[in-house]
Amino acid sequence: MTSKDVVLLRGVIPEDDAEPDVVEVILVNNDLAAEGGGASFSCTTALARIVMSNGNNGNPNLLAHEIGHVLGGLHPGDSQEEGFWVPEVGTVLDPSRSSHVPNPERNPASSRRQVRCAALTSTGEECCISA
């Protein structure tokens, strides 16, 4: 499965049919190796959705990692972008780059205080962050 396929999968549920206040999670029977196991789209918006491997044997923190992106978190060391926040190294948003390698479990208060939940507001902004 390619990154292009993953982008197409996010559209499997038309935006008009998306449930309000729900983050759509699309599980696929593929390791999504090119995406590091998962990808998040339309982060910080009410249109947020996640496409991730259903075979995350070895990475029980992958969904938490992707939800972190939906809540506006980037990866540690990423450049700051308006509307997003950069977490500390060694936290759940540190990418493992695999559905079989666990992301760190740590989710410190410094991250939780920065969460932006626009499932709370619809801005229509798009983002795409691979695991």
HEC readout, the chain: CCHHHHHHHHHHCCHHHCCCCCCEEEEECCCCHHHCCEEEECCCCCCCEEEEECCCCCCCCHHHHHHHHHCCECCCCCCCCCCCECCCCCCCCCCCCCCCCCCCCCCCHHHHCCCCCCCCCCCCCCCEEEC
**To the nearest whole angstrom, how small is the minimum distance from the Cβ of residue 38 to Zn ion?**
7
Q: How far is the CB of 131 from Zn ion (least distance, A)?
A: 4
Contact pattern from residue 41 through residue 80 relative to Zn ion, giving x for each residue in contact according to CB under 5 A and a dash for the rest? ----------------------------------------
**Binding to Zn ion, residues 74-113 (CB under 5 A):** 95
State the minimum distance, in angstroms, from the CB of residue 14 to Zn ion: 25
Interaction site with Zn ion (CB under 5 A):
95, 131
